[in-house]
Amino acid sequence: MNMALSRRTALQTAGATVLAAGLTNLTATAARADGASDNSAPKLVTYPRPATMPTNTSFKVRVRTAPEGDWQTLDIYRPQLEEINPTTGSGKVYNTSMVYFDFQGSVEIEVTYLKGGTTKTRVRPDSLGIKPELGGDTLVFTLHEPKDVVVQINDEIFDCLHVITNHICADPPSADDPDVIYFGPGVHTVTGNVLTVPSGKTVYLAGGAVLQAQVFFKNVEKAALTGRGMLNAGPGGILCEGSRNIRVEDVIIMNPNGYAGTFGMSENVHVKKARSFSSKGNGDGFDVFSSTGIVFDGCFMRTSDDCFAIYCHRWDYYGDTRDITIQNCTLWADVAHPVNVGTHGNTDNPETLENLVIRNIDVLDHREPQMNYQGCIALNPGDSNLIRNVRIEDVRIEDFRWGQVIYMKVMFNPKYNTSVGRGIQDVYVKNLSYTGTHANPSLFLGYDADHAIDNVTFENLVINGIVVADSMKKPKWYYTTDEIQWYYNEHVTNLRFLTTAEAEAATAS
Protein backbone atom coordinates (compact mmCIF):
# COMPACT_ATOMS: atom_id res chain seq x y z
CA MET A 1 0.00 0.00 0.00
CA ASN A 2 1.19 3.53 -0.71
CA MET A 3 1.89 6.02 2.01
CA ALA A 4 1.30 9.77 1.82
CA LEU A 5 3.17 12.01 4.22
CA SER A 6 0.39 12.95 6.63
CA ARG A 7 -0.93 11.64 9.92
CA ARG A 8 -4.40 11.08 8.46
CA THR A 9 -3.18 8.81 5.69
CA ALA A 10 -0.77 7.14 8.10
CA LEU A 11 -3.68 6.09 10.22
CA GLN A 12 -5.84 5.12 7.25
CA THR A 13 -3.05 3.09 5.71
CA ALA A 14 -2.36 1.15 8.88
CA GLY A 15 -5.95 0.43 9.79
CA ALA A 16 -8.11 3.56 10.16
CA THR A 17 -9.85 4.12 13.46
CA VAL A 18 -8.73 0.86 15.07
CA LEU A 19 -5.07 1.78 14.72
CA ALA A 20 -5.86 5.41 15.55
CA ALA A 21 -7.18 4.32 18.91
CA GLY A 22 -4.16 2.05 19.39
CA LEU A 23 -1.74 4.85 18.60
CA THR A 24 -3.56 7.17 20.98
CA ASN A 25 -3.37 4.63 23.78
CA LEU A 26 0.28 3.88 23.07
CA THR A 27 1.18 7.57 23.03
CA ALA A 28 -0.75 8.21 26.22
CA THR A 29 0.93 5.28 27.97
CA ALA A 30 4.38 6.47 26.91
CA ALA A 31 3.58 10.02 27.98
CA ARG A 32 2.48 8.87 31.42
CA ALA A 33 5.64 6.80 31.83
CA ASP A 34 7.97 9.50 30.56
CA GLY A 35 6.23 12.23 32.50
CA ALA A 36 6.30 10.43 35.82
CA SER A 37 7.79 12.39 38.67
CA ASP A 38 10.14 9.58 39.69
CA ASN A 39 12.63 9.42 36.84
CA SER A 40 14.60 6.70 38.61
CA ALA A 41 11.72 4.19 38.77
CA PRO A 42 12.18 1.07 36.62
CA LYS A 43 10.26 1.27 33.34
CA LEU A 44 9.85 -1.05 30.38
CA VAL A 45 8.34 -0.43 26.93
CA THR A 46 7.86 -3.24 24.42
CA TYR A 47 6.52 -3.11 20.88
CA PRO A 48 4.43 -5.48 18.75
CA ARG A 49 5.80 -7.13 15.62
CA PRO A 50 3.51 -6.55 12.63
CA ALA A 51 1.84 -9.83 11.69
CA THR A 52 3.22 -9.77 8.15
CA MET A 53 6.82 -9.53 9.30
CA PRO A 54 8.52 -12.97 9.42
CA THR A 55 9.48 -14.43 12.77
CA ASN A 56 11.87 -17.13 13.95
CA THR A 57 11.00 -20.01 16.26
CA SER A 58 14.29 -20.93 17.95
CA PHE A 59 13.71 -18.85 21.08
CA LYS A 60 11.13 -17.68 23.54
CA VAL A 61 12.13 -14.39 25.16
CA ARG A 62 10.62 -12.64 28.16
CA VAL A 63 11.67 -9.46 29.95
CA ARG A 64 10.70 -7.72 33.18
CA THR A 65 11.86 -4.81 35.26
CA ALA A 66 14.22 -6.10 37.91
CA PRO A 67 13.79 -7.61 40.33
CA GLU A 68 10.04 -8.32 40.51
CA GLY A 69 8.19 -6.77 37.59
CA ASP A 70 5.65 -8.62 35.48
CA TRP A 71 7.12 -10.74 32.71
CA GLN A 72 6.38 -9.60 29.16
CA THR A 73 6.89 -11.91 26.18
CA LEU A 74 8.77 -10.25 23.31
CA ASP A 75 7.92 -10.60 19.65
CA ILE A 76 10.82 -12.03 17.66
CA TYR A 77 11.97 -10.74 14.28
CA ARG A 78 13.88 -12.77 11.68
CA PRO A 79 16.94 -11.03 10.25
CA GLN A 80 18.95 -13.04 7.74
CA LEU A 81 22.71 -13.57 7.64
CA GLU A 82 25.20 -14.97 5.14
CA GLU A 83 28.20 -17.29 5.07
CA ILE A 84 30.48 -17.49 2.02
CA ASN A 85 31.71 -20.85 0.73
CA PRO A 86 35.46 -20.32 0.11
CA THR A 87 35.53 -23.02 -2.58
CA THR A 88 32.58 -21.94 -4.72
CA GLY A 89 32.08 -18.32 -3.66
CA SER A 90 28.38 -18.96 -3.18
CA GLY A 91 26.64 -17.56 -0.14
CA LYS A 92 24.40 -19.56 2.19
CA VAL A 93 21.69 -17.55 3.92
CA TYR A 94 20.68 -18.33 7.50
CA ASN A 95 17.75 -17.16 9.59
CA THR A 96 18.49 -15.66 12.96
CA SER A 97 16.51 -13.98 15.77
CA MET A 98 16.19 -10.44 17.05
CA VAL A 99 14.15 -8.68 19.76
CA TYR A 100 14.06 -5.07 20.87
CA PHE A 101 12.62 -2.96 23.68
CA ASP A 102 13.24 0.18 25.76
CA PHE A 103 13.85 0.40 29.49
CA GLN A 104 14.94 2.49 32.43
CA GLY A 105 16.60 1.06 35.51
CA SER A 106 17.45 -2.65 35.31
CA VAL A 107 15.76 -5.53 33.51
CA GLU A 108 15.92 -9.30 33.68
CA ILE A 109 15.88 -11.13 30.37
CA GLU A 110 14.80 -14.76 30.19
CA VAL A 111 15.75 -16.70 27.05
CA THR A 112 14.53 -20.25 26.35
CA TYR A 113 16.16 -22.20 23.52
CA LEU A 114 13.21 -24.09 22.06
CA LYS A 115 15.35 -26.54 20.09
CA GLY A 116 16.68 -27.95 23.35
CA GLY A 117 19.99 -29.55 24.18
CA THR A 118 21.54 -26.45 25.76
CA THR A 119 24.92 -27.15 27.33
CA LYS A 120 26.71 -23.83 26.91
CA THR A 121 25.64 -20.17 26.85
CA ARG A 122 27.40 -16.91 26.16
CA VAL A 123 26.23 -13.28 26.18
CA ARG A 124 28.46 -11.06 24.06
CA PRO A 125 30.38 -8.78 23.96
CA ASP A 126 32.56 -10.49 26.51
CA SER A 127 33.73 -7.08 27.79
CA LEU A 128 30.33 -6.58 29.47
CA GLY A 129 31.12 -9.49 31.79
CA ILE A 130 27.58 -10.90 31.67
CA LYS A 131 27.38 -14.42 33.12
CA PRO A 132 23.89 -15.84 32.58
CA GLU A 133 22.27 -18.31 34.94
CA LEU A 134 21.34 -21.50 33.08
CA GLY A 135 18.67 -23.97 34.06
CA GLY A 136 17.82 -26.60 31.47
CA ASP A 137 17.26 -24.75 28.20
CA THR A 138 16.50 -21.41 29.87
CA LEU A 139 19.01 -18.73 30.76
CA VAL A 140 18.48 -15.49 32.65
CA PHE A 141 20.68 -12.40 32.77
CA THR A 142 20.37 -8.77 33.83
CA LEU A 143 21.04 -5.51 32.01
CA HIS A 144 21.54 -2.45 34.21
CA GLU A 145 21.49 -0.05 31.27
CA PRO A 146 20.58 -0.37 27.58
CA LYS A 147 23.13 -2.46 25.68
CA ASP A 148 23.00 -4.47 22.46
CA VAL A 149 24.02 -8.08 23.09
CA VAL A 150 24.15 -11.42 21.31
CA VAL A 151 23.01 -14.59 23.10
CA GLN A 152 24.73 -17.71 21.78
CA ILE A 153 23.72 -21.27 22.61
CA ASN A 154 26.27 -24.07 22.19
CA ASP A 155 28.50 -21.72 20.15
CA GLU A 156 25.92 -21.44 17.36
CA ILE A 157 27.02 -18.73 14.93
CA PHE A 158 23.76 -18.04 13.10
CA ASP A 159 20.99 -19.57 15.22
CA CYS A 160 21.46 -17.03 17.97
CA LEU A 161 19.50 -14.19 19.55
CA HIS A 162 20.27 -10.48 19.09
CA VAL A 163 18.88 -8.28 21.86
CA ILE A 164 18.58 -4.59 20.93
CA THR A 165 17.73 -2.13 23.71
CA ASN A 166 17.24 1.62 24.04
CA HIS A 167 16.61 4.20 26.71
CA ILE A 168 12.97 5.17 26.99
CA CYS A 169 12.28 8.14 24.74
CA ALA A 170 11.40 11.02 27.04
CA ASP A 171 9.92 13.30 24.39
CA PRO A 172 8.81 11.50 21.22
CA PRO A 173 7.67 13.75 18.38
CA SER A 174 3.99 14.26 17.73
CA ALA A 175 2.27 12.85 14.67
CA ASP A 176 0.63 16.30 14.28
CA ASP A 177 3.97 18.14 14.11
CA PRO A 178 4.23 19.66 10.60
CA ASP A 179 7.98 19.07 10.63
CA VAL A 180 7.57 15.33 11.33
CA ILE A 181 6.91 12.58 8.79
CA TYR A 182 5.35 10.10 11.18
CA PHE A 183 4.98 6.33 10.77
CA GLY A 184 3.02 4.53 13.50
CA PRO A 185 3.03 0.79 14.27
CA GLY A 186 2.48 -1.40 11.23
CA VAL A 187 4.08 -1.97 7.82
CA HIS A 188 4.31 1.01 5.48
CA THR A 189 5.37 1.63 1.90
CA VAL A 190 5.80 4.80 -0.16
CA THR A 191 5.44 5.46 -3.85
CA GLY A 192 8.52 4.30 -5.73
CA ASN A 193 9.99 2.74 -2.55
CA VAL A 194 11.99 5.94 -1.89
CA LEU A 195 11.11 8.45 0.84
CA THR A 196 12.82 11.76 -0.02
CA VAL A 197 13.25 13.89 3.10
CA PRO A 198 13.04 17.70 2.76
CA SER A 199 15.26 20.09 4.72
CA GLY A 200 14.12 20.64 8.28
CA LYS A 201 12.01 17.47 8.42
CA THR A 202 12.31 14.47 10.74
CA VAL A 203 11.20 11.01 9.68
CA TYR A 204 9.99 9.25 12.82
CA LEU A 205 9.46 5.48 12.98
CA ALA A 206 7.49 4.67 16.11
CA GLY A 207 8.13 1.41 17.93
CA GLY A 208 6.50 -1.39 15.96
CA ALA A 209 6.70 0.55 12.68
CA VAL A 210 8.31 -1.06 9.64
CA LEU A 211 9.02 1.18 6.64
CA GLN A 212 9.75 -0.72 3.44
CA ALA A 213 11.58 2.04 1.61
CA GLN A 214 14.87 3.81 1.15
CA VAL A 215 15.20 7.04 3.13
CA PHE A 216 16.89 9.64 0.90
CA PHE A 217 18.57 12.86 2.04
CA LYS A 218 19.44 14.73 -1.18
CA ASN A 219 21.05 18.19 -0.94
CA VAL A 220 19.22 19.00 2.30
CA GLU A 221 20.06 20.43 5.73
CA LYS A 222 18.90 19.82 9.28
CA ALA A 223 16.93 16.66 8.57
CA ALA A 224 16.69 13.43 10.53
CA LEU A 225 15.61 9.79 10.70
CA THR A 226 14.79 8.66 14.23
CA GLY A 227 12.58 6.35 16.26
CA ARG A 228 12.28 2.84 17.60
CA GLY A 229 11.01 1.29 14.37
CA MET A 230 12.87 -0.23 11.47
CA LEU A 231 13.61 -0.03 7.79
CA ASN A 232 12.93 -3.39 6.18
CA ALA A 233 15.23 -2.12 3.52
CA GLY A 234 14.85 -4.43 0.56
CA PRO A 235 14.40 -1.33 -1.61
CA GLY A 236 17.48 0.25 0.00
CA GLY A 237 18.66 1.64 3.32
CA ILE A 238 19.71 5.23 4.02
CA LEU A 239 21.13 7.35 1.19
CA CYS A 240 22.63 10.71 2.13
CA GLU A 241 24.09 12.80 -0.70
CA GLY A 242 25.29 16.39 -0.69
CA SER A 243 23.63 17.04 2.66
CA ARG A 244 24.69 18.54 5.96
CA ASN A 245 23.60 18.53 9.57
CA ILE A 246 21.84 15.18 9.28
CA ARG A 247 20.88 12.99 12.25
CA VAL A 248 20.07 9.27 12.35
CA GLU A 249 19.17 7.71 15.71
CA ASP A 250 18.02 4.36 17.08
CA VAL A 251 16.50 2.83 13.95
CA ILE A 252 17.10 -0.77 12.87
CA ILE A 253 17.96 -1.46 9.22
CA MET A 254 17.21 -5.03 8.24
CA ASN A 255 17.85 -7.01 5.05
CA PRO A 256 18.99 -4.22 2.67
CA ASN A 257 19.78 -4.96 -0.96
CA GLY A 258 23.23 -3.41 -0.69
CA TYR A 259 24.49 -0.96 1.92
CA ALA A 260 22.50 -0.16 5.05
CA GLY A 261 23.65 3.44 4.70
CA THR A 262 25.59 5.47 2.12
CA PHE A 263 26.97 8.92 2.97
CA GLY A 264 28.41 10.74 -0.03
CA MET A 265 29.77 14.29 -0.24
CA SER A 266 28.01 15.13 3.01
CA GLU A 267 29.00 17.07 6.11
CA ASN A 268 28.23 16.94 9.81
CA VAL A 269 26.26 13.71 9.96
CA HIS A 270 25.65 12.05 13.34
CA VAL A 271 24.51 8.42 13.35
CA LYS A 272 23.72 7.25 16.88
CA LYS A 273 22.64 3.76 17.94
CA ALA A 274 21.62 2.68 14.46
CA ARG A 275 21.65 -1.08 13.89
CA SER A 276 22.05 -3.14 10.76
CA PHE A 277 21.62 -6.79 9.70
CA SER A 278 22.35 -8.00 6.16
CA SER A 279 22.64 -11.18 4.12
CA LYS A 280 22.99 -10.00 0.51
CA GLY A 281 26.18 -9.56 -1.52
CA ASN A 282 27.82 -6.18 -0.96
CA GLY A 283 25.76 -5.99 2.21
CA ASP A 284 27.90 -3.33 3.90
CA GLY A 285 26.71 -1.50 6.96
CA PHE A 286 27.61 2.21 6.66
CA ASP A 287 29.86 3.47 3.86
CA VAL A 288 31.32 6.98 3.65
CA PHE A 289 32.53 8.64 0.43
CA SER A 290 34.20 12.06 0.14
CA SER A 291 32.59 13.45 3.29
CA THR A 292 33.57 15.47 6.36
CA GLY A 293 32.55 15.34 9.99
CA ILE A 294 30.74 11.99 10.13
CA VAL A 295 30.22 10.38 13.56
CA PHE A 296 28.98 6.82 14.15
CA ASP A 297 28.24 6.35 17.83
CA GLY A 298 26.88 3.28 19.62
CA CYS A 299 25.96 1.30 16.50
CA PHE A 300 25.48 -2.48 16.35
CA MET A 301 26.33 -3.99 12.96
CA ARG A 302 26.05 -7.59 11.76
CA THR A 303 26.72 -7.53 8.05
CA SER A 304 27.46 -9.67 5.00
CA ASP A 305 30.27 -7.33 3.97
CA ASP A 306 32.19 -4.52 5.68
CA CYS A 307 30.46 -3.14 8.78
CA PHE A 308 32.05 0.26 8.12
CA ALA A 309 33.85 1.31 4.93
CA ILE A 310 35.50 4.71 4.65
CA TYR A 311 36.50 5.87 1.16
CA CYS A 312 37.13 8.91 -1.01
CA HIS A 313 35.93 9.14 -4.63
CA ARG A 314 33.64 6.53 -6.12
CA TRP A 315 30.79 6.86 -8.64
CA ASP A 316 29.67 10.52 -8.60
CA TYR A 317 31.26 11.35 -5.24
CA TYR A 318 34.47 13.44 -5.31
CA GLY A 319 36.73 14.99 -2.70
CA ASP A 320 38.73 14.24 0.44
CA THR A 321 37.29 12.38 3.41
CA ARG A 322 38.21 13.73 6.83
CA ASP A 323 37.17 13.94 10.47
CA ILE A 324 35.44 10.56 10.69
CA THR A 325 34.69 8.96 14.09
CA ILE A 326 33.54 5.40 14.80
CA GLN A 327 32.99 4.94 18.53
CA ASN A 328 31.19 2.82 21.12
CA CYS A 329 30.17 0.26 18.49
CA THR A 330 29.77 -3.53 18.41
CA LEU A 331 30.74 -5.13 15.09
CA TRP A 332 30.22 -8.59 13.60
CA ALA A 333 31.29 -9.12 9.99
CA ASP A 334 30.09 -12.44 8.59
CA VAL A 335 31.95 -11.42 5.41
CA ALA A 336 34.92 -9.06 4.98
CA HIS A 337 36.02 -6.38 7.49
CA PRO A 338 34.49 -4.88 10.58
CA VAL A 339 36.28 -1.64 9.54
CA ASN A 340 37.76 -1.05 6.09
CA VAL A 341 39.47 2.18 5.02
CA GLY A 342 40.87 3.53 1.80
CA THR A 343 40.10 1.30 -1.20
CA HIS A 344 38.40 3.81 -3.51
CA GLY A 345 39.76 7.18 -4.63
CA ASN A 346 40.61 9.40 -7.59
CA THR A 347 43.71 8.51 -9.60
CA ASP A 348 43.36 11.60 -11.82
CA ASN A 349 43.08 14.04 -8.92
CA PRO A 350 44.44 12.27 -5.81
CA GLU A 351 42.52 12.61 -2.55
CA THR A 352 43.33 12.28 1.15
CA LEU A 353 41.59 10.40 3.92
CA GLU A 354 42.62 11.93 7.23
CA ASN A 355 41.70 12.44 10.86
CA LEU A 356 40.02 9.10 11.50
CA VAL A 357 39.18 8.03 15.06
CA ILE A 358 38.16 4.46 15.97
CA ARG A 359 37.57 4.03 19.70
CA ASN A 360 35.82 1.86 22.25
CA ILE A 361 34.93 -0.91 19.82
CA ASP A 362 34.02 -4.56 20.42
CA VAL A 363 34.68 -6.84 17.45
CA LEU A 364 32.70 -10.05 17.88
CA ASP A 365 33.56 -11.78 14.62
CA HIS A 366 35.39 -11.49 11.30
CA ARG A 367 35.31 -14.10 8.55
CA GLU A 368 37.06 -13.49 5.25
CA PRO A 369 38.86 -16.16 3.19
CA GLN A 370 40.55 -13.73 0.77
CA MET A 371 43.85 -12.37 2.06
CA ASN A 372 43.36 -8.97 0.39
CA TYR A 373 40.17 -8.36 2.37
CA GLN A 374 41.19 -9.49 5.84
CA GLY A 375 41.70 -7.38 8.93
CA CYS A 376 39.30 -6.52 11.73
CA ILE A 377 40.64 -3.05 11.03
CA ALA A 378 42.11 -2.60 7.55
CA LEU A 379 43.93 0.48 6.26
CA ASN A 380 44.30 -0.26 2.55
CA PRO A 381 44.78 2.87 0.43
CA GLY A 382 44.45 2.40 -3.33
CA ASP A 383 43.59 4.76 -6.22
CA SER A 384 46.30 7.26 -5.16
CA ASN A 385 44.68 7.77 -1.74
CA LEU A 386 46.78 8.89 1.21
CA ILE A 387 45.64 7.79 4.68
CA ARG A 388 47.02 9.88 7.53
CA ASN A 389 46.36 10.84 11.13
CA VAL A 390 44.53 7.76 12.41
CA ARG A 391 43.84 7.12 16.09
CA ILE A 392 42.67 3.64 17.13
CA GLU A 393 42.00 3.24 20.85
CA ASP A 394 40.34 0.80 23.25
CA VAL A 395 39.49 -1.92 20.75
CA ARG A 396 38.63 -5.37 22.08
CA ILE A 397 38.73 -8.16 19.49
CA GLU A 398 37.21 -11.50 20.46
CA ASP A 399 38.26 -14.67 18.69
CA PHE A 400 36.93 -14.72 15.15
CA ARG A 401 36.54 -17.35 12.47
CA TRP A 402 38.94 -16.26 9.73
CA GLY A 403 41.10 -13.21 9.09
CA GLN A 404 43.64 -10.87 10.68
CA VAL A 405 43.60 -8.61 13.70
CA ILE A 406 44.86 -5.59 11.77
CA TYR A 407 46.01 -5.14 8.17
CA MET A 408 47.84 -2.18 6.67
CA LYS A 409 48.70 -2.37 3.00
CA VAL A 410 49.44 0.30 0.44
CA MET A 411 47.77 -1.50 -2.41
CA PHE A 412 47.15 -1.67 -6.08
CA ASN A 413 44.25 -4.05 -6.46
CA PRO A 414 43.39 -4.27 -10.19
CA LYS A 415 39.87 -5.41 -9.35
CA TYR A 416 39.08 -2.04 -7.78
CA ASN A 417 42.04 0.31 -8.33
CA THR A 418 43.54 2.17 -11.27
CA SER A 419 46.64 3.19 -9.31
CA VAL A 420 48.56 2.37 -6.16
CA GLY A 421 47.78 4.24 -2.96
CA ARG A 422 50.13 7.06 -1.98
CA GLY A 423 50.77 5.74 1.52
CA ILE A 424 49.82 5.46 5.19
CA GLN A 425 51.17 8.00 7.70
CA ASP A 426 50.87 8.68 11.41
CA VAL A 427 48.79 5.91 12.95
CA TYR A 428 48.53 5.54 16.73
CA VAL A 429 47.00 2.35 18.15
CA LYS A 430 46.40 2.31 21.91
CA ASN A 431 44.90 -0.45 24.05
CA LEU A 432 44.06 -2.91 21.31
CA SER A 433 43.57 -6.47 22.54
CA TYR A 434 42.93 -9.81 20.87
CA THR A 435 42.12 -13.06 22.63
CA GLY A 436 41.91 -16.17 20.51
CA THR A 437 43.60 -18.72 18.27
CA HIS A 438 42.15 -18.21 14.77
CA ALA A 439 43.92 -15.04 13.64
CA ASN A 440 46.24 -15.18 10.65
CA PRO A 441 49.43 -13.09 10.95
CA SER A 442 48.73 -9.37 10.75
CA LEU A 443 50.53 -7.77 7.79
CA PHE A 444 52.05 -4.32 7.27
CA LEU A 445 53.01 -3.88 3.62
CA GLY A 446 54.30 -0.76 1.95
CA TYR A 447 54.21 -0.88 -1.85
CA ASP A 448 57.66 0.64 -2.47
CA ALA A 449 59.82 3.41 -1.05
CA ASP A 450 57.58 6.10 -2.57
CA HIS A 451 54.33 4.46 -1.48
CA ALA A 452 55.20 3.46 2.05
CA ILE A 453 53.89 3.11 5.58
CA ASP A 454 55.47 5.52 8.05
CA ASN A 455 55.15 6.29 11.75
CA VAL A 456 52.89 3.61 13.20
CA THR A 457 52.89 3.27 16.99
CA PHE A 458 51.25 0.59 19.13
CA GLU A 459 50.81 1.39 22.81
CA ASN A 460 49.74 -1.44 25.11
CA LEU A 461 49.04 -3.97 22.39
CA VAL A 462 47.84 -7.12 24.18
CA ILE A 463 47.73 -10.43 22.31
CA ASN A 464 46.43 -13.34 24.39
CA GLY A 465 47.38 -11.58 27.58
CA ILE A 466 50.93 -10.69 26.47
CA VAL A 467 51.85 -7.01 26.27
CA VAL A 468 53.79 -6.62 23.03
CA ALA A 469 56.63 -4.08 23.21
CA ASP A 470 60.01 -3.55 21.62
CA SER A 471 61.47 -3.85 25.12
CA MET A 472 59.98 -7.29 25.79
CA LYS A 473 62.32 -10.21 26.40
CA LYS A 474 63.17 -11.95 23.13
CA PRO A 475 66.21 -13.17 21.18
CA LYS A 476 68.21 -10.11 20.17
CA TRP A 477 67.97 -10.98 16.49
CA TYR A 478 64.12 -11.18 16.58
CA TYR A 479 61.83 -8.44 15.40
CA THR A 480 59.13 -7.59 17.92
CA THR A 481 56.55 -8.81 15.43
CA ASP A 482 58.17 -12.25 15.41
CA GLU A 483 56.99 -12.75 18.97
CA ILE A 484 53.36 -12.68 17.84
CA GLN A 485 53.88 -13.92 14.27
CA TRP A 486 53.06 -10.62 12.58
CA TYR A 487 55.01 -9.34 9.58
CA TYR A 488 56.11 -6.00 8.08
CA ASN A 489 58.19 -5.42 4.96
CA GLU A 490 61.05 -3.07 4.13
CA HIS A 491 58.69 -0.28 3.08
CA VAL A 492 57.44 0.21 6.65
CA THR A 493 59.40 2.77 8.67
CA ASN A 494 59.14 3.98 12.26
CA LEU A 495 57.03 1.08 13.50
CA ARG A 496 57.09 1.08 17.32
CA PHE A 497 55.61 -1.08 20.06
CA LEU A 498 55.48 0.57 23.50
CA THR A 499 54.17 -0.24 26.94
CA THR A 500 51.91 2.37 28.51
CA ALA A 501 54.70 3.36 30.91
CA GLU A 502 57.11 3.86 27.99
CA ALA A 503 54.56 5.92 26.08
CA GLU A 504 53.89 8.13 29.12
CA ALA A 505 57.61 8.58 29.72
CA ALA A 506 58.15 9.57 26.08
CA THR A 507 55.32 12.11 26.32
CA ALA A 508 56.66 13.54 29.58
CA SER A 509 60.10 14.03 28.11
Report the C-alpha gap between 241 and 293 in whole angstroms: 14
Q: Distance between CA atoms of 63 and 490, rounded to whole angstroms?
A: 56
The answer to whether residue 23 scores a pLDDT higher than 50 is no
Report the pLDDT value the prediction gives residue 330, as an integer from 0 to 100.
98
pLDDT of 235: 77
Is 327 inside any structural domain? Answer: yes
**Is 408 strand, coil or helix?**
strand
Averaged pLDDT of the chain? 93
Calpha distance 241→244 (Å, rounded): 9
CATH code assigned at 148:
2.60.350.10
The H or E element spanning position 9 is helix 7-14
Does residue 34 belong to any structural domain of this protein?
Answer: no
Q: Are both 348 and 496 inside the same structural domain? A: yes
Provide the b/e sequence for 271-307 (b: ≥16 CB within 10 Å).
bebbbbbbbbeebbbbbbbbbbbbebbbbbbbbbbbb
What average pLDDT does this structure show over 435-460? 98
In this structure, the answer to whether residues 149 and 286 fall within a common structural domain is no
396 pLDDT band (50/70/90 cuts)? very high
Predicted pLDDT at 374: 98
The structural domain count of the chain equals 2
The DSSP bridge partners found for residue 400 are none
Same domain, 383 and 273: yes
- Judged against a pLDDT cut of 80, whether residue 302 lies above it is answered with yes
| 199 found inside a domain | no
Of 167, 183, 209, which one is at a domain's C-terminal end?
Answer: 167
Residues 161 and 263 grouped into a single domain: no
Mean pLDDT of 203-222: 98
Q: What is the mean pLDDT of residues 335-356?
A: 98
Confidence of residue 32 (pLDDT cuts 50, 70, 90): very low
**Statement to judge: residues 336 and 475 lie in one domain:** yes
Q: Is the per-residue pLDDT at 19 higher than 80? A: no
> Do both 298 and 426 map to the same domain?
yes
Q: Is the pLDDT of residue 264 over 50?
A: yes
For residues 308 and 163, what is the distance between their CA atoms, to the nearest angstrom? Answer: 21
In a domain? residue 309: yes
Residues 157 and 271 in one domain: no
User: Shortest CA distance to 105 belongs to which of 77, 141, 145?
Assistant: 145
Residue 200 in any domain: the answer is no
Residue 402 lies in a domain: yes
**288 and 417 share one domain:** yes
Q: Among 167, 198, 221, give the residue marking a domain's end.
A: 167
Biggest CA pair distance of the chain: 80
Query: 355 and 485 share a domain?
Result: yes
Angle (CA) 222-224-227 rounded to 5° is: 155
pLDDT of residue 29: 35
Alpha carbons 468 and 483: distance in angstroms, whole number: 8
Pair 323, 441 in one domain: yes
Can you give the pTM of this predicted structure?
0.93
- Residue 295 resides in a domain: yes
Domain enclosing residue 158, as ranges: 42-167
316 and 422 share one domain: yes
CA dihedral 432, 435, 438, 443 (to 10 degrees): 20
pLDDT band at 38 (very low <50, low <70, confident <90, very high): low
Are residues 146 and 265 located together in one domain of the fold?
A: no
**Residue finishing a domain among 128, 143, 167:** 167
Over the stretch 90-146, which tens digit does the pLDDT of each residue have? Answer: 999 999 999 999 999 999 999 999 999 999 999 999 999 999 999 999 999 999 999
Is position 228 within any domain? Answer: no
